[in-house]
Amino acid sequence: MRPDSLTGQLHRLCKELAETAPGELSRVGVEAASRLDGPLLVALAGRTKAGKSTLLNALVGERVAPTDMSECTRFVTWYRDGPEYNVTLAGEDGAATRLAFERQGGRAQIRLPEPPPRDFSEITVSLPSRRLRRVQLADTPGFDSTDAMVGARTRRLLERPEGEGLLPRVDAVVYLLRHAHSADLAFLDVFDESGVPGSPIQAVGVLSRADELFDGGLEAMDLAARVADSLGREPQLRPLLGAVHPVGGLLAETAVTLTEQEFGWLTAVSAATAEEPGLALLSVDRFCDSAPGDLPLAVREHLVQRFGLFGLRWSVARLASGRVKDSAGLASALSAVSGLDALRDVLERRFVSRARRLVCQSVMASLGAAAIRFADREPAAVAGIRGELERIRASAHELAEIRLLDAVLTGEATLSVEEAGEVERIVGDGSPLQRLGLGEGAPIGDAQATAAERATYWKERAESPLLMPFERDLLGIAARSYEGIYSELSQAPG
């Protein structure tokens, strides 16, 4: 970590607060410093039955989040990497109670006390998972729950109400929606007001349960992609989410948890319906009544629950055509067609590749909130915080890069597809070579030549007489980014 980096400057400020500020303000410094060193915190949010838990399972790669309407789904549940499977229930006072954790039918089961303690806050599930090492995920109840207390838990996590603590509880949000409902727009607007995710930098939109659109026909996901693209262009959604990505959550979950037995059942269905596959898969009722392959009713119902109608039709068609030969091939194909592969790529580019910057934004928001809260009690310390934050905002080029990327994702800055992709790459936490799009073994001289060439390109773009002044300023940020990369390469050993 470079001392002059955004993270380095904030570490110094937090350390100074922890060591010199009085009382509660000192504790803010300690907590903020800890947050800087921690993982990225991402919440899955949306309306009731949007498919949040199912998508979380797909992202984690295990069926660990309950997807039924059990008591657990009424609370915020965090999933993090740990040495063993462990579930704890956190109270308002911070005390943790270990809960029973078991597996039934390939799915995790969490047993809550009956009734749950009144001071119950949230659940934390730890499990060995490489996918959770850099990112912790939160599964949240639907904010529109008919039970006001349940919906309030999600709002409390994301909105950070007055008096609830200074640190934002999340750094980024994956927001699931079925269409541009007024309730979704109202909920997303809150992010702008709370200092928590309020732009495509910190929020990704997902058109959920996309495979259920258009009656689950074989073209469902292709047509859903068009719907998602249209949603992403909505004037009210684009400033908050940017693009919207279609995902069939159920199919994605099944892709990462597919068993050999399920593959065998599908093979039997494919063989039995080879002559008229469309007839047996005309509807769920037809499939369950027709007994293709002499499969028991319980097996047919299981396949419907795991694949959905689109997933059954699509899988059987792939098997019948010979394009899929084994369970690994089917799992890989399902992961792609469900939209899971594309979403993982988006989350990697949008969140994980710039995790430190997103965490820094959360910490800066918390320090700004602390300055407001303690203005009357600790005026001298608060003046120091505000002055240092202003200095960091003015000097940290990482924040200027975030402003540039936000303008690209919201359409404020009009760039070609190639230019937009280039901006996404350079606005990241990677090495200079990664930000240039070069392999780690690339010669330093070649990398410097690339950085110099791209700096010149963006300078010339910024000088175009057709641009508005604010656009020239934005494109100038890209040029300075390449100049910074060139400087870093010049200081590299060897």
**Rounded to the nearest 10 degrees, what angle do helices 6-20 and 23-36 cross at?**
150
CA atoms within 13 A on the CB side of 290: 17
Adjacent-strand bridge partners of 97: 89
CA distance 148 to 489: 55
Give the ranges where 258-339 is alpha helix by DSSP (H). 260-272, 277-280, 284-290, 297-321, 327-337
pLDDT digits (tens, 9 = 90+) for 231-260: 998 888 888 888 899 999 999 999 999 999
CA distance 210 to 429: 32
| 132 and 80 Cβ atoms separated by less than 8 Å | yes
Backbone angles phi, psi at 86, to 5 degrees: -155, 135
What pLDDT tens digit does each residue of the chain (494 aa) get? 676 789 999 999 999 999 999 888 999 999 899 999 889 999 999 988 899 999 999 999 999 888 766 666 778 899 999 998 888 887 666 677 787 777 777 777 777 777 666 666 688 999 999 999 999 999 998 888 777 777 777 777 776 544 444 555 789 999 999 887 777 777 777 655 554 445 788 899 999 999 999 888 899 999 999 999 999 988 888 888 888 999 999 999 999 999 999 999 999 999 888 777 666 788 888 888 887 878 999 999 999 999 999 999 999 999 998 999 999 999 999 999 999 999 999 999 999 999 999 999 889 988 988 899 899 999 999 999 999 999 999 999 999 999 999 999 988 888 999 999 999 999 989 899 999 999 888 999 999 999 999 999 999 999 999 899 999 999 999 999 999 999 999 987 65
Identify the structural domains of the chain with CATH numbers, from first to last. Answer: 38-248+342-350 (3.40.50.300), 257-337 (no CATH), 396-491 (no CATH)
| 163 and 94 Cβ atoms separated by less than 8 Å | no
Adjacent-strand bridge partners of 44: 139, 174
| 209 and 52 Cβ atoms separated by less than 8 Å | no
DSSP, residue by residue, 59-97: HHTS--S--SS-GGGGS-EEEEE-SS-EEEEEETTS-EE
Adjacent-strand bridge partners of 130: none
In whole angstroms, what separates CA 110 from the centre of its chain?
Answer: 24
